[in-house]
Amino acid sequence: MNPAFSVVFLTTLIGAAQGLFLALYVAEWTAAAGEGAGAGFFAPGGVLAFTLATAGLLASFFHLGRPERAWRAAARWRTSWLSREVIVLPLFLAGVFLWTVGHHSAAWPTLVLGALTTALALLLFLCTAMIYASLRFLQEWASPYTLANYTLLGGANGTVLASALAGFRAPALTDAFALTALALTAVAFVSRALSLARNARLRPRSTLQSAIGVRHPVVHQRSMGFMGGSFNTREFFHGRSVAALRLVKWGFLVGAFALPALLLGVVLAAGLHAGTQQGVLALAFVVQYLGLIAERWFFFAQANHPQNLYYQAVS
């Protein structure tokens, strides 16, 4: 497939927002038990989660041919995971907004609001991942690993961001967040590595013979029947070489997993000065997020649409 950066940014930004909110809500339960932080930590964290999710939503509009008709995307909610995502994302944003405002008013039941928003965050992970996992003809996506990877990668990145925020606002929680982020990054690496290994073993269910309805054992395509490209050749194939894909793969393995894990390990083991610790954690988030952009691009590019069997050579 040909990755659209609007969707790359949509999925990575809202994933980070979901992971951040989930980390904040777990920390709120700790604070409710008499430990951790107060409104000075949760309110800014909620603003940050809301900002990331809003930026992801805005990025999605660049993927629309007619943005003024975006509301129609919710019409097929009974059968479409995309429609469900379109409905759940604004609800998640509303939940984060109310939870954040609630930390400025002692009368608001933030634990209850947080529980509802947590359910929406998890449901949003499900909807986003199933948009791709439900497409059985794209074997690289049609896997339980798709849901696991979206959830774990978003959770890891959001928790790294929570650890960076804690370094500024709630130092007592920094190590706990960093350790959790390190564990989530490790688990996400295992899940993503397993999905890469699975996809490397895949064999196309269709052949050139089945694509064009010719049963002869040897078929060589010379032209697709016209002199230039088309919507099919632009939208369903990225046009990059195998070497380029391999470079992106190793790039995201280092950027999304190895380097953030190393930086988190340094924070946990080195006993850094507070200012240095804050800088290292912020750097870990930025590095991991850039790695996840590459990971998401690779996720989309690796999917081999069956129509590419036919649309191979222009002329």
User: Where are the chain's structural domains?
Assistant: 5-309
User: Sign of dihedral through CA atoms 51, 18, 2, 284?
Assistant: positive
Question: DSSP per residue over 225-290, as a string?
Answer: SSSS--HHHHHS-----HHHHHHHHHHHIIIIIIHHHHHHHHHHHH---HHHHHHHHHHHHHHHHH
283: which 2 tokens?
Answer: 């750097």
175-189 residue pLDDT tens: 999 999 999 999 999
Q: How many Å apart are CA 25 and CA 41, to the nearest integer?
A: 11
CATH of domain 5-309: 1.20.1630.10
247-274 residue pLDDT tens: 999 999 999 999 999 999 999 997 788 8
198: which 2 tokens?
Answer: 């699975």
Q: Cβ–Cβ contacts within 10 Å for residue 204, how many?
A: 13
Length of the chain: 315
Amino acid, res. 165: L
pLDDT of the residue at 34: 54
The counts of H helices and E strands in the chain are: 11, 0
Q: How many Å apart are CA 15 and CA 157, to the nearest integer?
A: 8
185-223 residue pLDDT tens: 999 999 999 999 999 998 877 777 777 788 888 887 776
Count how many Cα atoms sit within 13 Å of the Cα of residue 161 in the half-sphere of its side chain: 28
Residues 6+ away with beta carbon under 8 Å from 33: none
